[in-house]
Chains A and B, each alone.
Chain A
Amino acid sequence: MELIVKNVTKKYGSNIALSNAGFTLKSGEIRALVGGNGSGKSTISKILTGIASSDSGEILFDGQTYDAKSPREGKDSGIIMTSQELSLLPNLSVAENICLCNLDTRGKSKFLDKKASEKRARELLREINKEEIINMEINDLPANEQYLVEFLKALAQEPKVIIVDEITSALYKVDVDAVTKILNRLKEKGVIVLFISHRLNEVFTMCDTVTVLRNGDTIGTFNTKDLDENKLISYMSGRDIKDVTVSEHKDISEAKVILDTGEVKLPHFKTLVHLEAKEGEFIGVAGLDGQGQKEFLRSLFAMNGAINLKFKGEELHLRQPRDAVKQGFAFISGDREREGTFKERSISENANAVSALVLKKKIDNIDAFLKQNGVKYGSSADLITSLSGGNQQKVVISRWTVADPQLILADDPTKGIDIQARRDVHDMMRLLLESGNSVIMISSDDEELVETANMMPLGRVIVFYEGNIVATYTGENITVENISAASAGKIN
Chain B
Amino acid sequence: MSKVKINNKYKNLLLALVLSIILVIVGQVLQPGFAKANNLMNILCKASVLAVACIGQVYVMVSGNAGIDMSVGSVMSCAALLGPALSGGENLGLIKSIVIMVTAAFIIGVINGICIQKFNLPSLVVTLCMGMIIDGLTIGLTRGAPGTKIPSSLLKLGVPVIGKIRLATFVAIILVAFMYFILNKSKYGKSLFLVGCNRNGARLAGINVDIKVITAYGISAVTAALAGYMLVGYVGSAQLYMADEYTMLSIAAVVIGGTKLSGGKGSLVGGVLGAILLFLLTSILLAVGLNDGARIAIEGIVLLLIILANCREKKIRM
Report the separation of the CA atoms of residues A322 and B202 in the bound assembly, to the nearest whole angstrom.
Answer: 10
Tally of A interface residues using CB under 8 Å = 39
Question: Which residues of A from 32 to 90 have beta carbons under 8 Å from B?
Answer: 46, 51-53, 70
Knowing A53-B317, A338-B200, A386-B1 touch, does A344 contact B260 (C-beta < 8 A)?
A: yes
By a CB distance below 8 angstroms, the chain A residues around B264 are: 342-345
Knowing A342-B264, A399-B205 touch, does A14 contact B193 (C-beta < 8 A)?
A: no
Knowing A356-B190, A379-B2, A386-B5 touch, does A342 contact B198 (C-beta < 8 A)?
A: yes
| B194/A357 in contact, CB under 8 A | yes
Closest 10 CB pairs of A and B: A325-B206, A342-B197, A378-B2, A358-B206, A344-B264, A344-B265, A322-B206, A353-B205, A379-B2, A339-B200
| B208/A322 in contact, CB under 8 A | yes
In the complex, per-residue mask of A334-378: 1 if CB is within 8 Å of any chain B CB, else 0 = 000011111111000100011011110000000000000000001
B159 adjacent to chain A (CB < 8 Å):
no
| B265/A341 in contact, CB under 8 A | no
Residue on A nearest B187 in the bound complex, by CB: A357
- A331-B204, A343-B264, A357-B190 are known; give 15 further A-B pairs, CB within 8 A: A46-B318, A301-B204, A321-B204, A338-B201, A342-B198, A344-B260, A349-B190, A353-B207, A357-B194, A357-B205, A358-B205, A359-B206, A382-B5, A382-B6, A383-B5
| B206/A343 in contact, CB under 8 A | no
Minimum C-beta distance from B220 to chain A (A): 20
A111 adjacent to chain B (CB < 8 Å):
no
Knowing A303-B204, A378-B2, A381-B6 touch, does A343 contact B198 (C-beta < 8 A)?
A: yes
B11 adjacent to chain A (CB < 8 Å):
no
By a CB distance below 8 angstroms, the chain A residues around B200 are: 338-339
B191 adjacent to chain A (CB < 8 Å):
yes
By a CB distance below 8 angstroms, the chain B residues around A51 are: 317-318
| A382/B2 in contact, CB under 8 A | yes
Chain B positions near chain A (C-beta within 8 angstroms): 1-2, 5-6, 8, 187, 190-191, 193-194, 196-198, 200-208, 260, 264-265, 317-318
By a CB distance below 8 angstroms, the chain A residues around B317 are: 51-53, 70
| B198/A338 in contact, CB under 8 A | yes
| B197/A345 in contact, CB under 8 A | yes
Knowing A53-B318, A378-B2 touch, does A339 contact B207 (C-beta < 8 A)?
A: no
Report the separation of the CA atoms of residues A12 and B202 in the bound assembly, to the nearest whole angstrom.
Answer: 27
By a CB distance below 8 angstroms, the chain B residues around A349 are: 190, 193-194
Minimum C-beta distance from A190 to chain B (A): 30
| B5/A343 in contact, CB under 8 A | no
By a CB distance below 8 angstroms, the chain B residues around A339 are: 198, 200-201, 204
Minimum C-beta distance from A38 to chain B (A): 16
By a CB distance below 8 angstroms, the chain B residues around A340 are: 198, 201
By a CB distance below 8 angstroms, the chain B residues around A490 are: none
Q: Which of B2, B193, B206 has the largest count of A CB atoms less than 10 A from its CB?
A: B206
By a CB distance below 8 angstroms, the chain A residues around B205 are: 321, 325, 353-354, 357-358, 399
Report the separation of the CA atoms of residues A324 and B260 in the bound assembly, to the nearest whole angstrom.
Answer: 31
Minimum C-beta distance from A181 to chain B (A): 34
Knowing A53-B318, A386-B2 touch, does A322 contact B201 (C-beta < 8 A)?
A: no
Report the separation of the CA atoms of residues A340 and B194 in the bound assembly, to the nearest whole angstrom.
Answer: 11
Report the separation of the CA atoms of residues A326 and B204 in the bound assembly, to the nearest whole angstrom.
Answer: 12
28 contacts between A and B (CB under 8 A): A12-B318, A46-B318, A51-B317, A303-B203, A320-B203, A325-B205, A326-B206, A331-B204, A340-B201, A341-B198, A341-B201, A342-B194, A342-B198, A342-B264, A344-B193, A344-B264, A345-B197, A349-B193, A349-B194, A353-B194, A353-B207, A354-B206, A356-B190, A357-B191, A357-B206, A357-B207, A358-B205, A383-B5
Instruction: Label chain A's interface by main secondary structure.
Output: loop
Report the separation of the CA atoms of residues A399 and B203 in the bound assembly, to the nearest whole angstrom.
Answer: 14
Report the separation of the CA atoms of residues A324 and B193 in the bound assembly, to the nearest whole angstrom.
Answer: 22
By a CB distance below 8 angstroms, the chain A residues around B265 are: 344
Report the separation of the CA atoms of residues A342 and B195 in the bound assembly, to the nearest whole angstrom.
Answer: 9
Residue on B nearest A343 in the bound complex, by CB: B197
Q: Which of A70, A344, A345, A378 has the largest count of B CB atoms less than 10 A from its CB?
A: A344
Residue on B nearest A50 in the bound complex, by CB: B317
In the complex, per-residue mask of A445-464: 1 if CB is within 8 Å of any chain B CB, else 0 = 00000000000000000000
Contact of A324 among B1, B206, B207 (CB under 8 A): B206
| B1/A378 in contact, CB under 8 A | yes
By a CB distance below 8 angstroms, the chain A residues around B198 are: 338-343
A19 adjacent to chain B (CB < 8 Å):
no
Residue on B nearest A332 in the bound complex, by CB: B204
Report the separation of the CA atoms of residues A288 and B262 in the bound assembly, to the nearest whole angstrom.
Answer: 34
Report the separation of the CA atoms of residues A378 and B202 in the bound assembly, to the nearest whole angstrom.
Answer: 25
A437 adjacent to chain B (CB < 8 Å):
no
Report the separation of the CA atoms of residues A354 and B201 in the bound assembly, to the nearest whole angstrom.
Answer: 10
A224 adjacent to chain B (CB < 8 Å):
no
By a CB distance below 8 angstroms, the chain B residues around A354 are: 205-206
Minimum C-beta distance from A31 to chain B (A): 25
| B2/A322 in contact, CB under 8 A | no
Residue on A nearest B193 in the bound complex, by CB: A345
Knowing A52-B318, A53-B318, A382-B2 touch, does A333 contact B204 (C-beta < 8 A)?
A: yes
Minimum C-beta distance from A375 to chain B (A): 14
By a CB distance below 8 angstroms, the chain A residues around B206 are: 321-322, 324-326, 354, 357-359
Minimum C-beta distance from B1 to chain A (A): 6
Knowing A14-B1, A357-B187 touch, does A344 contact B203 (C-beta < 8 A)?
A: no
Report the separation of the CA atoms of residues A52 and B316 in the bound assembly, to the nearest whole angstrom.
Answer: 9
Q: Which of A325, A339, A399 has the largest count of B CB atoms less than 10 A from its CB?
A: A339
By a CB distance below 8 angstroms, the chain A residues around B2 are: 378-379, 381-382, 386
By a CB distance below 8 angstroms, the chain B residues around A359 are: 206
By a CB distance below 8 angstroms, the chain A residues around B318 are: 12, 46, 51-53
Question: Which residues of A from 293 to 334 have beta carbons under 8 Å from B?
Answer: 301, 303, 320-322, 324-326, 331, 333
Report the separation of the CA atoms of residues A321 and B207 in the bound assembly, to the nearest whole angstrom.
Answer: 8
By a CB distance below 8 angstroms, the chain B residues around A379 are: 2
Contact of B207 among A70, A333, A358, A378 (CB under 8 A): A358
